[in-house]
C-alpha cells in the first residue's frame, strides 16, 4: 500500500498484529540521514527525558523498540505501561530536507514483505532540518499508523522540544569498544625423555617441541582509501607511515573529500573546468546558443564545444546568487560574495579551461558548481568534461564526468562548509537547464532566458 501524507491506517488492516519492522531508506545531499524513535505517553510527551531510540541508543528502556541497520523493530506487547505512541523522525546531518533525492519509510511484519510505504523527496520540503515521518499510536485499544510529514526548521532540537524534551542528543552510533588483547597462551610443555635413556634413531620421530609461531604483526597503513560519505578510514598502527591525502579522485556519485580551512595563509580554493575542444560526435547544424539548445537545436558540425563553468551559492549570511558568463555576472573577488569567475573560454582552446575562485570559503554555506554546454556539442558524452579543486597547500580533488547523460546541464559538485572544513561531494547530476537544477537543490532563484 502506498501511503499519503496525513493518512491513518489500522495496523490490523496491513496484517500486522504485534510485531512490526519500520525501515528507513533515504539518499540525498546530506552526509548522513539519522532515524530516531520517540517513546511517548498519551499526552504525546516523552515518557522519560531520554526515551529515544537511535543509532546512538539502539534499545528502549523496556527493550520493546530496537534499532539496527536503518530498521526499527517494535514489539508492541512488550511496551511499558503508559506508552501510547511512537513517533519516528528523520534528521539530515549538515543539511536540510530539500537535499533528499529519494526517501522511503516502509512497514512490514518481521521478515515479511513491505505492507505499506511512504515516499518523499526534497521537493516536498523547504528549509526543514528534521521531520516526523510516521507515528504508531493506540486508539481504542488497537494500534494504528499515521503518516505525519511535519517538518522542523530548527532540526533535532525542535523535535525534542515538540515532545517535551530538552537538549540535542547525539544520534551518531557509538564507536565500538577496543577489544582487550587475549593473554598469550602458555608455552607447550617440553616432553621429557622416557626413563631408561632411549636414543632416537636418525629415521625416527623427533619429540622436540615445535617453536610457537609469533603473533602476526598488525597491517600497516597505505591500503586503498575509502571515500564513501559515511565511511571513515581505519586507524593505522603507530609504526605505520602517515597516508598522504593531497591528491584524491572522486570516481563515483556521492563520494566526498574534505579540505581543511585551518591552514595558515590564504584560503582561496581554485575550481577548474576543462574539456575536449572538439566534440567526438558532430551534431547537425542549427545555430543558436543556450536558449536554442533548450528548444532542441545545437550548433554546427565544425563548431568547437563551448562549456560554461558557474555556480549557485549561499553565504553564511544568507545572501544567495549565481555566477556565470551567461548574463555577464563574473562575481567579485574583493567583496561579497568573494567568488570570481576568471574568463569565458568560448572555444575550449585555452589550456587552462575556465576557472572559478572561492576567495573566502570560510564565509560560505554551500556552493553548487555547475557546467553547461552553450554550443558546439549535443550533450556531455561528447566533450570529456573534468573538474578539479585545488587549495594553496597543494591539496587536489579531481573528478571526471564519467557517466554523462544526453542533457546540456550538469550539477558537478556541491561544496559545503562544515566547521573548519569544506566538504566537496561529487554530484554529477544532469538536467535540462538551470531552473530544473535549482529546483533539485533548493536555492529558489527566478530564471529567464539569456545569451552571451
- pLDDT bin (cut points 50, 70, 90) of residue 190 is low
- pLDDT bin (cut points 50, 70, 90) of residue 166 is confident
d(CA 138, CA 294): 53
- pLDDT bin (cut points 50, 70, 90) of residue 153 is confident
Q: Which of 103-117, 294-308, 353-367, 431-445 has the lowest mean pLDDT?
A: 294-308
- What percent of the chain shows pLDDT beyond 90? 29
d(CA 434, CA 444): 11
Domain ranges of the chain: 8-162, 248-441
d(CA 377, CA 410): 14
pLDDT score of 295 more than 50: no
Supply the pLDDT for residue 344: 52
Mean pLDDT of 136-145: 91
Would the CATH topology of 8-162 be identical to that of 248-441?
A: yes
pLDDT score of 229 more than 90: no
Q: Which of 58-62, 93-97, 319-323 has the lowest mean pLDDT?
A: 93-97
Strand partners, 120: 103
- What percent of the chain shows pLDDT beyond 70? 72
d(CA 94, CA 404): 28
pLDDT score of 216 more than 70: no
Task: Spell out the SS3 assignment of the chain.
Answer: CECCCCCEEEHHHHCCCCEEEEEEEEEECCCEEEEEEEEECCCCCECCCCCEECCCCCECCCCCEEEECCEEEEEHHHCCCCCCEEEEEEEEECCCHHHEEEEEEEEECCCCCCCEEEEECHHHCCCCCEEEEEEEEEECCEEEEEEEEEEECCHHHHHHHHCCCCCCCCCCCCCCCCCCCCCCCCCCCCCCCCCCCCCCCCCCCCCCCCCCCCCCCCCCCCCCCCCCCCCCCCCCCCCCCCCCCCEEECCCCCCEEEEECCCCCCCCEEEEEECCCCCCCCCCCCCCCHHHHHCCCCCCCCCCCEEEEEEEEEECCCCEEEEECCCCECEECCCCCCEEECCCCCCCCCCCCEEEEECCHHHEEEEEEEEEEEECCCCHHHCCCEEEEECCCCCEEEEECCCCCCCCEEEEEEEEEECCEEEEEEEEEEECCHHHHHHHHCCCCCCCCCCC
Supply the pLDDT for residue 22: 92
- pLDDT bin (cut points 50, 70, 90) of residue 227 is very low
Per CATH, the architecture of 8-162 is what? Sandwich (2.60)
Mean pLDDT of 136-164: 89
d(CA 435, CA 185): 68
Supply the pLDDT for residue 257: 86
Supply the pLDDT for residue 176: 52
Supply the pLDDT for residue 263: 56
Supply the pLDDT for residue 182: 57
Q: What is the pLDDT of residues 9-32, one digit of tens each?
A: 999 999 888 899 999 988 888 888
Q: What is the pLDDT of residues 254-283, one digit of tens each?
A: 888 888 776 544 578 999 988 775 544 444
Q: What is the pLDDT of residues 366-385, one digit of tens each?
A: 999 999 887 755 667 777 78
- pLDDT bin (cut points 50, 70, 90) of residue 53 is very high
Fold of 248-441: Lipoxygenase-1 (2.60.60)
**Mean pLDDT for all residues in the chain:** 76
Amino acid at each position: 500500500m502506498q501511503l499519503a501524507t496525513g493518512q491513518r491506517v489500522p495496523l490490523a488492516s496491513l496484517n500486522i498484529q504485534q510485531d512490526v519492522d519500520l525501515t528507513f531508506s533515504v539518499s540525498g545531499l546530506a552526509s548522513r540521514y539519522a532515524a530516531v524513535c520517540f517513546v511517548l505517553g498519551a499526552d504525546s510527551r516523552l515518557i522519560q527525558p531520554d526515551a529515544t531510540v537511535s543509532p546512538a541508543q539502539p534499545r528502549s528502556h523496556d527493550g520493546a523498540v530496537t534499532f539496527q541497520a536503518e530498521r526499527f523493530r517494535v514489539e508492541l506487547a512488550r511496551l511499558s505501561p503508559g506508552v501510547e505512541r511512537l513517533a519516528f523522525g528523520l534528521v539530515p546531518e549538515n543539511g536540510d530536507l530539500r537535499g533528499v533525492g529519494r526517501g522511503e519509510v516502509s512497514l512490514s511484519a518481521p521478515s515479511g514483505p513491505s505492507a505499506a510505504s511512504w515516499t518523499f523527496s526534497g521537493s516536498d520540503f523547504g528549509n526543514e532540518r528534521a521531520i516526523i515521518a510516521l507515528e504508531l499510536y493506540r486508539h481504542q485499544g488497537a494500534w494504528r499508523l499515521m503518516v505525519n510529514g511535519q517538518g522542523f526548521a530548527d532540526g533535532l532540537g525542535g523535535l525534542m522540544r515538540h515532545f517535551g524534551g530538552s537538549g540535542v542528543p547525539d544520534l551518531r552510533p557509538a564507536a565500538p569498544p577496543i577489544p582487550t588483547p587475549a593473554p598469550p597462551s602458555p608455552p607447550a610443555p617440553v616432553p621429557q625423555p622416557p626413563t631408561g635413556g632411549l636414543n632416537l634413531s636418525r629415521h625416527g620421530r623427533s619429540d622436540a617441541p615445535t617453536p610457537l609461531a609469533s603473533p602476526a604483526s598488525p597491517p600497516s597503513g597505505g591500503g586503498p582509501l575509502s571515500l564513501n560519505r559515511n565511511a571513515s578510514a581505519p586507524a593505522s598502527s603507530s609504526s605505520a607511515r602517515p597516508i598522504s591525502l593531497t591528491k584524491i579522485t572522486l570516481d563515483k556519485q556521492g563520494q566526498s573529500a574534505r579540505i581543511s580551512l585551518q591552514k595558515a595563509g590564504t584560503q582561496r580554493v581554485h575550481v577548474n573546468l576543462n574539456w575536449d575542444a572538439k566534440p567526438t560526435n558532430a551534431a547537425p547544424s542549427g545555430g543558436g546558443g543556450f536558449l536554442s539548445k533548450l528548444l532542441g537545436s545545437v550548433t554546427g558540425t565544425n563548431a568547437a564545444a563551448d562549456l560554461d563553468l558557474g555556480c549557485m551559492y549561499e553565504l553564511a549570511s544568507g545572501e544567495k546568487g549565481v555566477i556565470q558568463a551567461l548574463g555577464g555576472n563574473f562575481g567579485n573577488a574583493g567583496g561579497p560574495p568573494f567568488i570570481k569567475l576568471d574568463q569565458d573560454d568560448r572555444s575550449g582552446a585555452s589550456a587552462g579551461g575556465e576557472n572559478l575562485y572561492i576567495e573566502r570559503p570560510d564565509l560560505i554555506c554551500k556552493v553548487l558548481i555547475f557546467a553547461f554546454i552553450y554550443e558546439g556539442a549535443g550533450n556531455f558524452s561528447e566533450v570529456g568534461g573534468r573538474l578539479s579543486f585545488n587549495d594553496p597547500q597543494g591539496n587536489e580533488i579531481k573528478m571526471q564526468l564519467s557517466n554523462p547523460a544526453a542533457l546540456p546541464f550538469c550539477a558537478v559538485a556541491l561544496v559545503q562548509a562544515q566547521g573548519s572544513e569544506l566538504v566537496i561531494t561529487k554530484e554529477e547530476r544532469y538536467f535540462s537547464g538551470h531552473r530544473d537544477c535549482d529546483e533539485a537543490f533548493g536555492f529558489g532563484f527566478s530564471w529567464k532566458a539569456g545569451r552571451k
